Amino acid sequence: MQEGPLTPGGLCAMPRPMLHIDDISYSIQGRPLFVGASASVPEGHKIGLVGPNGAGKTTLFKLIRGELALDGGAISLPTRARIGGVAQESAATGRSVLDTVLDADQERAALLAEATTATDPHRIADIQNRLTDIDAWSAEARAATILDGLGFDTADQARPTSDFSGGWRMRVALAGVLFAQPDLLLLDEPTNYLDLEGALWLEGYLARYPHTVIIISHDRGLLNRAVGHILHLEDKKLTLYTGGYDSFTRIRAEKRALQAAEARKQADRRAHLQSFVDRFGAKASKARQAQARVKALAKMEPITAPEEAKFFRFTFPQPEEMSPPIVAMEGVSVGYDDRAVLKKLALRIDQDDRIALLGRNGQGKSTLSKLLAERLGTMAGKITRSSKLRVGYFAQHQVDELHLDETPLDHIRSVRPNEGQAKQRARLAGFGLMEAQAETKVGQLSGGQKARLSLLLATIDAPHLLILDEPTNHLDIESREALSEALNDYTGAVVLVSHDMHLLGLVADRLWLVKDGAVAPYEGDLDDYRKFLLSGDAPAEKAGATTPEPKPAAPKKPSRDAVLALRSDVRKSEERVQKLTEMMGKLDVKLADPGLYNDPYEAEKWGKKRAEAVRALAFAEELWMAALEKLDAAEKG
β partners of residue 230? 48, 241
Distance linking the first and last C-alpha atoms of the chain: 65
pLDDT at 374: 92
E strand or H helix at 48, and its extent? Answer: strand 46-50
Q: How far apart are CA 377 and CA 375, in angstroms?
A: 7
pLDDT at 619: 76
pLDDT at 458: 93
Instruction: Tell me 544's DSSP state.
Output: T
Amino acid (one-letter) located at 23: D
329: closest CA among 495, 498, 543, 509? 495
E strand or H helix at 528, and its extent? Answer: helix 526-534
Q: Which SS3 state, helix, strand or coil, does residue 331 take?
A: strand
Q: Which SS3 state, helix, strand or coil, does residue 511 take?
A: strand
pLDDT at 4: 45
Q: How far apart are CA 246 and CA 252, in angstroms?
A: 10
Q: Alpha-carbon dihedral of residues 94, 96, 100, 105, nearest 10 degrees?
A: -130
Helix ranges (H only) for 1-78 are 57-64
| Residue 299 phi, psi (nearest 5) | -80, -15
Instruction: Tell me 75's DSSP state.
Output: E
Pair 75, 20: CB distance under 8 Å:
yes
pLDDT at 637: 60
Q: Which SS3 state, helix, strand or coil, does residue 9 take?
A: coil
pLDDT at 179: 92
Q: Alpha-carbon dihedral of residues 282, 283, 287, 290, nearest 10 degrees?
A: -70
Helix ranges (H only) for 86-165 are 97-103, 106-115, 121-133, 139-149, 154-157
β partners of residue 17? 42
What is the edge-to-edge ordering of all strands in the sheet holding 17-28?
A: 31-42, 17-28, 72-76
Amino acid (one-letter) located at 239: T
Q: Alpha-carbon dihedral of residues 47, 53, 59, 64, nearest 10 degrees?
A: -10
- Report pTM: 0.70
| Residue 501 phi, psi (nearest 5) | -70, -25
Q: How many CB atoms lie within 10 A of CB 545?
A: 16
Q: How far apart are CA 399 and CA 448, in angstroms?
A: 10
| Ranges of the chain with pLDDT below 70 | 1-15, 87-89, 134, 269, 272-273, 276-277, 280-297, 299-312, 536-565, 635-637
Pair 221, 498: CB distance under 8 Å:
no
β partners of residue 24? 37
Q: How far apart are CA 544 and CA 541, in angstroms?
A: 8
pLDDT at 127: 80
Q: How far apart are CA 391 and CA 562, in angstroms?
A: 44
Pair 357, 496: CB distance under 8 Å:
yes
pLDDT at 473: 83
HEC-encoded secondary structure of 178-216: HHHCCCEEEEECHHHHCCHHHHHHHHHHHHHCCCEEEEE
Instruction: Tell me 328's DSSP state.
Output: E
Q: How far apart are CA 529 and CA 169, in angstroms?
A: 27
Pair 30, 90: CB distance under 8 Å:
no
392: closest CA among 482, 493, 475, 481? 493
